[in-house]
Amino acid sequence: MFAEVLGVGSVGVGDGFFDLGGDSVLAIRLVARAREAGVVFSPREVFRHQSVRALAAVAAEEAAGAVGEPEGAGIGPVDPTPIMHWLAGRDGPIGGFSQTVVLRVPPELGLEALTAGLQAVLDRHDALRLVCSGAEALLGDGRGVLEVPPSGSVRADECVRRVEVAGDPEEAVAEAAARSRAELDPAAGRMVRVVWLDAGAGVPGRLVVTVHHLSVDGVSWRILLPDLFAAWDAARRGEAPVLPAVPTSFRTWARMLRDEARTRTGELDDWIDILDGPDPRIGHRPLDPDKDTVATVRTLRLTLPPERTEPLLTTVPAAFHGRALDVLLTGLTLAVAHWRRKRGGRGTSVLLHLEGHGREEIAGGVDLSRTVGWFTTLYPVRLDAGATAWTDGRTVTRAVKQVKEQLRAVPDNGIGYGLLRHLDPESAAELDGLPRPQIVFNHLGRVATGEGDWNVVPAELGGHDPEMPVAHVLEINTTVRDRPDGPHLEAAWSWPDGVLTEAEAEELAGTWFDALGGLAAHGSGGHTPSDLLVELDQDEIDRIQTAWEDR
């Protein structure tokens, strides 16, 4: 299972999941894959017991006849989640807010089998049938409608189109995605559009799948696409598609978040301390919601080749007993501090917004490994690497250790911030007036790409309404694409025109890549306090490690 999920040839029983390039998103996929085989463990246990041997020791066999929540528990009114509140607070149109994935599909795909497969997916995953009357319904104050209607209420034949294309189907992808996005209508429950670009006999086509963002996120695609293939394959063979059950519905999770918010008030002072501090302006002016809209956004895309990406995912985080995100964010913290200092700024502290997958284990008996929906968390962190350079081993090693520990200090990967900011009125009043991070970072994890049928075809397709105000001066989205020659780290840097220049964004992006190279070249590794069961500070750990190495 490790080898399958990580896309590697072989795995030893003592190999660590994260040492091999795993991340939190892949950990959820591992949990789902294990459950398919009747083996049960949680994402948290993947983090605590990282090797095959250790995880096998705590895993359990799924009880015969085990079931999740009752059938239909995901149907009915839905409580708006924190990320939905955040979207409503951006005060712009949400109709076209969506994500699109493009798949290579066989020439004999067949409209009938595709429609039957999609119907099974629509009926199994409640969030794909979500109805949202408008942004007002996302505020949780009783206005508008946010609900999931019963299975069968959305007809797949109204969501699918077949389009004949001549020549390369890639040329028709952007047009198909744009039309699908325009057809989305949350108020009418039109959250899904699928276009089959049929290139004719003997030529692989493309399947353009567009889903409104209220109904999907990065982890959800890793559930939806295998389900769509399995359901299509069954229909193609003349069988009725049967998809695995969803143990915990999105509706149940949303209700749990509302209740959980009341238990998180003890975190409030920590979030205030993070936000209420220095954050020197990185743009030429503050954001203007009337001027800085999605239509003005410029994007720079850069890629690191496999020989530079591989260490950042494996050997470097393994040396620090950490994760790839620790390394990526250490590099970014160093780069921003360095770039800012060149422009007369001071200090090494950097305030960021981080996006997380949001599927945290905040309650027992909850299994979100097969739940589709928009779970994303958005929370602030203040990271300080204590330096603005990355050319010597001591500085680099200290920087990675510091940032790693600052990230570990965030409880439950930041889920509490959104709960307090949006679902607890008293806490929201205290957090509302505080500064907001200028930079947002979102690591989307690893995505396999290949030449065969039903593989994802990389495509850059917009998913925002042009009139939506921009939320950050700088947005950084990173993805690791596993290609035949190895992993490639792809980074998209986006900013509203006029707030930054392309030359400035390109310089900062290049500085980040340089910093990552410095971490790979000079980081010597070592333990940090969060690795240990005894209370030792970093200096004590370093002294013990040095004594051990010098023995």
168-172, 222-226, 227-231, 265-269: least confident range: 168-172
Output the DSSP codes for 97-114: -EEEEEEEE-TT--HHHH
Confidence of residue 142 (pLDDT cuts 50, 70, 90): confident
pLDDT class for 27, splitting at 50, 70, 90?
confident
8-state DSSP, 514:
H
List the 160-164 sheet strands across, edge first: 98-105, 205-212, 192-198, 160-164
High-pLDDT (> 70) share of the chain, %: 99
What's the average model confidence in pLDDT over 148-158?
Answer: 97
Mean pLDDT for the stretch of residues 61-79: 79
The tokens for 194 are 């699928």
Find, among 13, 41, 9, the residue nearest to 28 by Cα: 41
Taking alpha carbons only, the member of 460, 436, 5 closest to residue 222 is 5
> Does pLDDT of 528 surpass 70?
yes
Q: Which residues contact 177 (CB under 8 A, 6 or more apart)?
A: 100, 102, 195, 208, 210, 459, 461
pLDDT in tens, 262-314: 999 999 999 999 999 899 999 999 999 999 999 999 999 999 999 999 999 99
User: Mean pLDDT across the chain, nearest whole number?
Assistant: 92
Q: At residue 105, does pLDDT exceed 80? A: yes
With 80 as the cut, is the pLDDT of residue 167 above it? no
pLDDT per residue over 500-527, tens digit each? 999 999 999 999 999 999 999 998 899 9
Report how far residue 306's alpha carbon sits from residue 302's, in angstroms, rounded to the nearest whole number: 13
Residue with tokens 């095959």: 52
- Packed helices 425-432 and 415-423: angle between N→C axes, nearest 10 degrees: 100
**Structural domains of the chain sorted by starting position, each given as residue range(s) with its CATH number in brackets:** 1-61 (1.10.1200.10), 76-252 (3.30.559.10), 299-358+374-453+468-550 (3.30.559.30)
For residues 400 and 326, is the Cβ–Cβ distance under 8 A?
yes
Nearest to 272 by CA among 428, 83, 65, 442: 428
Q: Write out pLDDT tens, residues 348-401.
A: 999 999 999 999 989 888 999 999 999 999 999 999 999 999 999 999 999 999
**Of 164-173, 244-253, 341-350, 542-551, minimum mean pLDDT range:** 542-551
Distances (CA, A) of 196 to 103, 199, 204, 233, 306: 10, 9, 11, 16, 33
SS3 130: coil
pLDDT of residue 130 exceeding 60, the answer is yes
pLDDT band, very low/low/confident/very high, at 71 (cuts 50, 70, 90): confident
pLDDT at 1: 79
SS3 call for 264: coil
Query: Averaged over 210-239, what is the pLDDT?
Result: 96
Of 55-59, 244-248, 363-367, the range with the lowest mean pLDDT is 55-59
Tell me the pairing of strands 349-356 and 377-384: antiparallel
Q: How does pLDDT run across 1-26, given as a tens digit for each residue? A: 788 778 777 788 888 887 787 776 77
Query: Over 80: is that where the pLDDT of 483 sits?
Result: yes
Q: Between 206 and 6, whose confidence is greater?
A: 206
Locus of tokens 């069988």: 239
Q: State the pLDDT at residue 63.
A: 56
pLDDT at 164 over 60: yes
Q: 129-154: buried (b, 16+ CB within 10 Å) or exposed (e) per residue?
A: bbbbebbebbbbeeebebbbeebeeb
- Residue 207, pLDDT > 70, answer yes
Nearest-angstrom CA–CA distance, 339 and 493: 15
- Residue 542's pLDDT is 87
pTM for the structure as a whole: 0.90
For residues 463-479, give the mean pLDDT: 96
426 has a pLDDT exceeding 90: yes
Q: Name which of 2-16, 233-247, 485-499 the model is least confident about.
A: 2-16
Mean pLDDT of 539-551: 84
Percent of the chain with pLDDT over 90: 75
CA distance linking residue 325 with residue 313, whole number of Å: 8
Specify the pLDDT at position 64.
Answer: 46
CA angle 298, 313, 462 (to 5 degrees): 25
